[in-house]
């Protein structure tokens, strides 16, 4: 057991105290003064020595012998068992005749405060196609338009007044739609900022993306998207048939299936969309090609061994020659 940092005595000094009193006929007052403790403390250690021997000179636990608020093990087991039957804390409290606050506190302590904790986390489903173009991922990210430079650019709060005036003149800022396309094997990406997310717009973007990949020496075989209306549209299906591509869809409400596009969008937001201060949407759009060239040809990618997507493309082409 640890001895308190400010303790005046330890088992050895207490033994010395007892020896002086019992063996050397020191008075209690003199022995206490020599040990630097009070007469009351000296009397306590002497009494413990006489009652328990040397074991009585050891420190005792300061934990209380009885904790009225401590929950019995069987009650705690009952709370956990009922929780695993997907009962709410209120229902458990009613069944066991306990306070709701007590049940909620113990559910949090055992890690079952949220119902999602009842199911084990789903293991990651990582996959990567072997050939460039075997599968591409497409997705769309909405970004708010920038009407005019704000105070972060101009350094003047008056610019906010100008922005409000332009909003009154031009209407609400609205949205821009960033269409992205990522190759599964190489992580090469193609991006366009377009005015909407309609089926015809998505189909046109897909045609231009396939053309860009073809310029990189990649023949696209399949495309994976979510279940958005533009991807489910007839015009998009016709574009896939025209390009000779198979269209795959993710499971509903499962964005992780299209994880490569989702992760690229996160990087796109952090490094391009929100990675600099722009005076207008046109400035932001004009910065996209340069950043995209950096991403495809210079920036190291963590899942590719910190190599650029273009480097990975060259390696895969040599491997399949």
| Class of the domain covering 136-319 | alpha beta
* Residue-range domain boundaries for the chain: 11-57, 73-118, 136-319
Lowest mean pLDDT among 31-45, 146-160, 223-237, 269-283: 146-160
User: In this predicted model, what pLDDT tens digit does every residue of 149-162 receive, in sequence order?
Assistant: 666 566 666 655 55
- Nearest Cα residue to 186 out of 130, 236, 225, 240: 130
Query: What number of other Cβ atoms are within 10 A of residue 291's Cβ?
Result: 18
Read off the pTM.
0.65
User: In this predicted model, what pLDDT tens digit does every residue of 171-203 receive, in sequence order?
Assistant: 567 899 999 999 999 999 999 999 999 999 999
Identify which of 1-5, 245-249, 314-318 has the greatest average pLDDT.
Answer: 245-249
Helix 11-22 vs helix 28-35: angle between axes, to the nearest 10 degrees? 150
- Which CB contacts under 8 angstroms, 24+ apart, belong to 32-39? 35/8, 35/9, 36/8, 37/8, 37/9
User: In this predicted model, what pLDDT tens digit does every residue of 297-318 receive, in sequence order?
Assistant: 999 988 888 999 999 999 988 8
Q: What are phi and psi of 197, to 5 degrees?
A: -125, 40
Measured over the CA atoms of residue 142, residue 297, residue 210 and residue 315, the dihedral's sign is negative
């Amino acid at each position: 057991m640890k001895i308190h940092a400010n303790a005046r005595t330890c088992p050895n000094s207490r033994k010395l105290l007892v020896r002086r009193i019992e063996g050397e006929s020191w008075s209690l007052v003199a022995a206490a003064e020599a040990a630097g403790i009070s007469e009351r403390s000296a009397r306590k250690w002497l009494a413990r020595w006489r009652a328990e021997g040397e074991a009585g000179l050891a420190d005792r636990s300061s934990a209380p012998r009885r904790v009225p608020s401590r929950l019995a093990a069987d009650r705690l087991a009952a709370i956990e068992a009922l929780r695993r039957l997907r009962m709410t804390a209120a229902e458990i409290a009613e069944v066991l005749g306990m306070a709701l606050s007590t049940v909620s506190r113990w559910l949090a302590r055992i890690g079952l405060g949220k119902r999602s904790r009842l199911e084990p986390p789903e293991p990651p489903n990582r996959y990567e196609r072997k050939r460039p173009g075997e599968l591409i991922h497409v997705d769309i990210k909405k970004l708010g338009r920038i009407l005019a430079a704000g105070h972060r650019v101009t350094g003047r709060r008056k610019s906010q007044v100008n922005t409000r005036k332009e909003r009154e003149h031009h209407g609400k800022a609205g949205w821009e739609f960033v269409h992205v396309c990522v190759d599964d094997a190489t992580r090469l990406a193609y991006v366009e900022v377009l005015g909407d997310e309609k089926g015809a717009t998505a189909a046109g973007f897909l045609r231009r993306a396939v053309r860009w990949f073809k310029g990189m020496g990649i023949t696209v075989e399949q495309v994976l998207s979510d279940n958005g209306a533009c991807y489910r549209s007839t015009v998009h299906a016709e574009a896939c048939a025209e390009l000779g591509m198979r269209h795959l869809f993710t499971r509903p409400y499962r964005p992780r299936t299209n994880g490569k596009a989702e992760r690229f969008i996160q990087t796109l937001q952090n490094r391009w969309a929100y990675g600099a201060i722009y005076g207008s949407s046109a400035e932001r759009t004009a910065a996209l090609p340069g950043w995209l060239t950096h991403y495809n040809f210079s920036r190291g990618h963590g899942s590719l061994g910190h190599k650029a997507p273009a480097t990975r493309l060259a390696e895969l082409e040599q491997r399949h020659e």
